[in-house]
Structure 1
Amino acid sequence: MGVMISLPIGILFGLGALLAWGVSEFFAALSSRKTGSVKTFFWSQVISLIVYTSSFVFFFFSLPSISFIEWLLLLIMTITVIGGIFNYYEGFSLGKVAVVSPIVNAWPLVTLFFALTVLRQTLTFAQMIAVLLVIFGGLLVSFKLSDLAKLKFKNSARGVRHAIIGSLFFGIAFTLLDPLVTSLGFFIPVFLQKVIQIPLSFGYIKMKGADISFPKEAALPIVLIGILEFSGVVTYNLAISSEYTVLIAPLMSAIPMVTIILARLFFKEALTVNQWVGFVFIISGLALLSL
């Protein structure tokens, strides 16, 4: 007789979010190679906003009453998201992926810290072990030790500052999302965040003098990124609607695992020992959560 694995609905939604975001990052890598990261980011966000707006018109129709504090939190969350994204890309432009990626992907540690200290959420001992396994597993799969060995210290330090800032910004943004989802529901906070984010991002990109004409050669992956990003956010918000952020956010550390599996399947990219160890950590953490 087999062993039945049962996961709470919130964790299942969380796994859906990490799957959607992991596939989204895979297509983002494809698109960025064709047309650059700035165009990929901006136009995928525009597509995402179109999906959000269509969903709002068909399913929600009107906005709930929103207090001044909630608007303030929405604005701060949007600014931190934008700050996280642009520091993420700036880190990659200045530094090496093997250094920048693990640092940025450590943002769930920041959210975990704030969820425990500011939001006063708690974990059982078993849950704490599980989320730490997933977090450190996610860090291990996000880089190759062989790439680190080839780096020179002076060059590897470039981009680290932006990676740390990006990780902090993302961690803060996902912390702020928790009370907004609690008070406004799983959809409205991110819909409004996108409405605010697009013009602010457009202004920042134009200020930098970057070209953001629509990249026809990457139209399909950009549309898919926008749809997957929407799916990931909605399922993540549904997850934190039924489980604590302190439990769900760390699961997002496993996003690189999904992206790397796809790269392995489609591009035959070899996995290193540390990445295999990371997979074992992640699976062990998820198995522990199911007990």
Structure 2
Amino acid sequence: MLEILIPAFVLIIWTASNTLIKSLTGKMESDNIALIVIGAGIVPMTLSIFMTPHLNIAETTLFLGVTSGIFLSLGYILFYKSLKGENLGSAGVTINMQQIIVISFSLLVLKETVSSLILPAVILILIGSMMVTIKNGFKINRYLMLAALANIIWGIYYMPLSFAILSLHSSVMPLLIARTSGFIMTFIAFETLFMYRRMKQRHITTVTTPNYKAKLSFTLMLAVVAGILDGSGNVFYALSISQGALVLAGALVAMLPATLALSGKFLFREKLSSKQYIGVLLSVAGALLIAL
């Protein structure tokens, strides 16, 4: 039962996190959103260490964790760059690429055994998610390609991380190593870019008002909450890996575009087409197959 409940909880947490991120786009620089989200996500991972026994970290585990962090950082840099030209809803079509890689890796490399209903369920969820996210007038552009590449890299990120988690029989420490190293690399990349921009715009001055500062503080707070939720989701997702339920977790998380579409409808009053509603129903049907 936990094999289903934990990924379902991850889906809920990541839906909330991505909904907050969606509300932040346009209110602050995407670079800052990425740094805050990845940095704040370290907090729940650090706290979860106190809930696990002391573990000796081997050099191999450290190497795998840092390697995962490299892919994590590259994914964040590319995905948040894509948000400058492509909103989160359109970029959501690429999320399934990440889960396809994760599921394929689990089946072909980790040799995870699954029930006969899992694969039909995965297909239903993926088709449903594509119907939800691909809208009329859908065009492939460089921003969407960046989002796609980011999700492919995030799928690769789980490969060394999974080996580290399974070898250590713990999800916390490898995850924390990957997140921390990923944050450091992302910070260096964005800080270098920021310094370059400042050098080009030294003559430009900005005027701030108390109202602006208040709005910025509230926006920063939302970004921190989004990061904590994102990190918490990663903790539980990695717990699914340690339990050998990566296919199940990947299948349920693949419903994220559908749940984001529903959150957009109820929170941002976005209209859904009949095709999108059908996509949501297919995703739900896939989830019900998994529950069986």
TM-score range, shorter chain: 0.7 to 0.9
State yes or no: 1:189 paired with 2:174.
yes
The aligned residue for residue 155 of structure 2 is 171
Which blocks of at least 5 consecutive residues in structure 1 are unaligned?
1-7
**Post-superposition CA distance 1:25-53 (Å, at most 9, x none):** 00011122311322112112222223433
Identify which range, 234-243 or 165-174, moves more after superposition: 234-243
| Contact kept? 1:51, 1:230, Cα under 8 Å | yes
| Contact kept? 2:40, 2:231, Cα under 8 Å | no
| Contact kept? 2:45, 2:176, Cα under 8 Å | yes
Which blocks of at least 5 consecutive residues in structure 2 are unaligned?
198-214
The aligned residue for residue 158 of structure 1 is 142
Whole-Å separation in 2 of the counterparts to 1:273 and 1:47: 38
Q: SS at the partner of 2:27?
A: helix
The aligned residue for residue 248 of structure 1 is 249
What is the identity percentage for the equivalent residue pairs of Structure 1 and Structure 2? 21
The aligned residue for residue 105 of structure 1 is 96
2:130 aligned residue (139, 160, 166): 139
Whole-Å separation in 2 of the counterparts to 1:97 and 1:238: 27
Whole-Å separation in 2 of the counterparts to 1:221 and 1:171: 26
**Post-superposition CA distance 1:139-176 (Å, at most 9, x none):** 22234x2242xx4xxxx332344233212211111233
Shift of 1:116: 2.0
Identify which range, 220-229 or 114-123, moves more after superposition: 114-123
The aligned residue for residue 278 of structure 2 is 277
What RMSD in Å do the two structures reach over aligned CA positions? Answer: 2.5
Shift of 1:98: 6.7
The aligned residue for residue 45 of structure 1 is 38
Letter in 2 for 1:146: N
Shift of 1:218: 0.5
Whole-Å separation in 2 of the counterparts to 1:44 and 1:167: 16
The aligned residue for residue 203 of structure 2 is none
Q: SS at the partner of 1:93?
A: coil
**Post-superposition CA distance 1:228-257 (Å, at most 9, x none):** 112211221222233431222122111122
| Contact kept? 2:25, 2:83, Cα under 8 Å | no
Q: SS at the partner of 2:225?
A: helix
Whole-Å separation in 1 of the counterparts to 2:220 and 2:151: 29
- Rate the CA distance shift 1:118–1:200 in 2: closer, same or farther, 3 A: same
- Rate the CA distance shift 1:280–1:111 in 2: closer, same or farther, 3 A: same
State yes or no: 1:223 paired with 2:218.
no
Q: SS at the partner of 2:57?
A: coil
Whole-Å separation in 1 of the counterparts to 2:102 and 2:44: 27
| Contact kept? 1:11, 1:239, Cα under 8 Å | no
**Length-normalised TM-score, structure 1:** 0.84
- Rate the CA distance shift 1:244–1:25 in 2: closer, same or farther, 3 A: same
- Rate the CA distance shift 1:288–1:50 in 2: closer, same or farther, 3 A: closer
2:188 aligned residue (203, 207, 222): 203
The aligned residue for residue 29 of structure 2 is 36
- Rate the CA distance shift 1:51–1:288 in 2: closer, same or farther, 3 A: closer
| Contact kept? 2:37, 2:227, Cα under 8 Å | yes
Letter in 1 for 2:12: L
Q: SS at the partner of 2:83?
A: helix
The aligned residue for residue 23 of structure 1 is 16
**Length-normalised TM-score, structure 2:** 0.84
- Rate the CA distance shift 1:289–1:59 in 2: closer, same or farther, 3 A: closer
Whole-Å separation in 1 of the counterparts to 2:41 and 2:146: 25
**Post-superposition CA distance 1:44-76 (Å, at most 9, x none):** 2222223433443x44585x2222222221112
Instruction: Provide the aligned length of Structure 1 versus Structure 2.
Output: 274
The aligned residue for residue 119 of structure 1 is 110
| Contact kept? 2:94, 2:148, Cα under 8 Å | yes
- Rate the CA distance shift 1:48–1:158 in 2: closer, same or farther, 3 A: closer
Whole-Å separation in 2 of the counterparts to 1:96 and 1:31: 11
| Contact kept? 2:69, 2:180, Cα under 8 Å | no
- Rate the CA distance shift 1:147–1:25 in 2: closer, same or farther, 3 A: farther
Residue correspondence of structure 1 range 224-239 to structure 2 within 5 A: 224-239=225-240
